Structure 1
Amino acid sequence: MSFQGTISRAGGTKVKRALGVQAALEWAFRTEQAQLELPPPRDITDEGFGFGLEYVLLKRAALGCKVDGGQHKMGSYTHPDAEVIAATVAGIPDSLGGKRMAIRVAELARAGLTPDWMPGVVPRCVPVETKNNQHGERATTIVVGTERVKTRGKWRTVELLACPVTWRPHPEQIASARRGYADWWQALNWVRDWLTAGGMLRDVEVTAGMPKVRPWGDGS
């Protein structure tokens, strides 16, 4: 995703490039290769709700004077807006996952990926273990008891066999993957709100667009 810079209208008003928050993150971390600089640990007396806008303001001030972005990334230059986006991600509050979530958001954006919510996966009941013999693949059975039966006038003891089964993938695996997606979505929603409210982006405008909140649908 190449950054096209700004366009000037008559009178000098800038037209910012409009990007959804996921696209903005991918531009910052993947195209501009912004680095995630996590803040140092807070004082133990602090409540630990993240760093928010004040940290981003410090990062903005550290960037110094404005440097206009060109069409293509050159050398080690990183667009200032990408730095602000990265600083905002670094400030994800502890209530939304804190530093761990910040790293996850940045890594997914850098790879151009969305969290795997296991689309189309349906749990299947399968044998716990199978074995192969001359007759092909067979489910492994276990003895669960005995029973006395009468055959041809004689009483015999026979083993009662059962095939242990399980669900694969387990429903909890699917639920966990989808909780992970939902947590990522909440973090992106927080980043979007801070970027739109902060007004610190010079050439990028983060729109209201968001990934689907429940891409697996309401019936899952």
Structure 2
Amino acid sequence: MSMQGRIGRIGGTKVKRPLGVQAALEWAFRVERAQLELPVSKNVSEEGFGFGLEYVLLQRAALGCKVDGGQHKMGSYTHPDAEVIAAAVAGMPDSLGGIRMAISVAEMARAGITPNWMPGAVPRCVPVDMKRNRHGDRAVSVVVGTEKVLVSDKWRTIEVRACPVTWRPHPEQITSARRGYEDWWQALDWVQDGLVTGRMLRDVEVTAAMPKERPWTR
């Protein structure tokens, strides 16, 4: 059933379809295949990118509150609300990652995925390298020095060997992955706030539902 088929009316009032911001993004980019158009201004360089929702609203007003939904889909229809959602994402401010974050949010929504925050990851101390022979696996050791020992009344020089170890996954990898998730969450929070405040959607109502802010703390 199409979006239009799911939109009803009660007492002459249009009933909007409630969607959390992540679901709304996936609907816009994955189902409706909205395109991410990054605005370009003569007065703003790429390094200074960041238009915000005001740009989106002005552009919508300039179009007479109508978005051309078919310009990128070879004549097929894209719901106007999906175009507005895409335009809001395109206005991602620099403080939240600007162009790169806008592209990341759109691509993850198109793929229907969330950032990998490495659930269940626990750093473990493991050998840097392993060697396998007929007797099984063993850690590879390296010479770290020499020592003189007395053997049968004679001093001999022997190698001192140690097994290099590392942390896998490294704590910094886990921290980086979870920082990336938090950045994505902040971006979605900004998009949600803009869409709710802007009130530009006709058939979709963006709700307060959000992904968990820090799922690894539950």
Give TM-score scaled by structure 2 length. 0.88
The equivalent of 2:163 in structure 1 is 163
Give the deviation of 1:45 after TM superposition: 8.2
Aligned length: 212
The percentage of aligned residue pairs carrying the same residue is 74
Going from structure 1 to structure 2, the CA distance change for 1:41 and 1:132 (only over 3 Å counts) comes to farther
Report if the CA contact (8 A) 1:5-1:203 is conserved: no
- Give the structure 2 partner of residue 7 of structure 1: 8
Q: Once the 2 structures are TM-superposed, how far is the Cα of residue 55 of structure 1 from its aligned partner?
A: 2.1
CA contact 2:60–2:66 (8 Å) conserved in 1? no
1:143 is matched with 143
Residue number in structure 1 paired with 2:206? 206
Letter in 2 for 1:9: I
- Secondary structure at 1:216 match in 2: helix
Look up the match of 1:99.
99
Deviation for aligned residue 1:54: 2.6
Task: From the superposition, tell whether residues 44 and 199 of structure 1 become closer, same or farther in structure 2 (CA, over 3 Å).
Answer: closer
The aligned counterpart of 2:114 is 114
- Unmatched 5+ stretches in structure 2: 68-74
The answer to whether 1:54 aligns with 2:54 is: yes
C-alpha change, 1:2 and 1:146, in structure 2 (3 Å) is: farther
Does residue 174 of structure 2 align to residue 174 of structure 1? yes
Ranges in structure 1 where 5+ consecutive residues have no aligned partner: 68-74
User: CA 1:58–1:5 in structure 2 vs 1: closer, same or farther (change >3 Å)?
Assistant: farther
Distance 1:45 1:98, change over 3 A: closer
Q: Which residue of 2 aligns with 1:71?
A: none
Question: In the aligned structure 2, how far is the partner of 1:161 from the partner of 1:2?
Answer: 69
> Post-superposition shift, 1:133?
2.5
- State the Cα deviation string for residues 37-79 of structure 1 (Å, max 9, x = none): 0011562589936212232124424665769xxxxxxx71000
When structure 1 is superposed on structure 2, of 43-52 and 90-99 the one drifting more is 43-52
* 1:2 to 1:188, Cα distance in 2 relative to 1, 3 A: farther
Counterpart-to-counterpart distance in 2, 1:103 and 1:205: 23
Distance in 2 (alpha carbons) for counterparts of 1:164 and 1:27: 49
Indicate conservation of the 8 Å contact 2:49/2:99, yes or no: no
Question: 1:127 offset after TM fit, Å?
Answer: 1.1
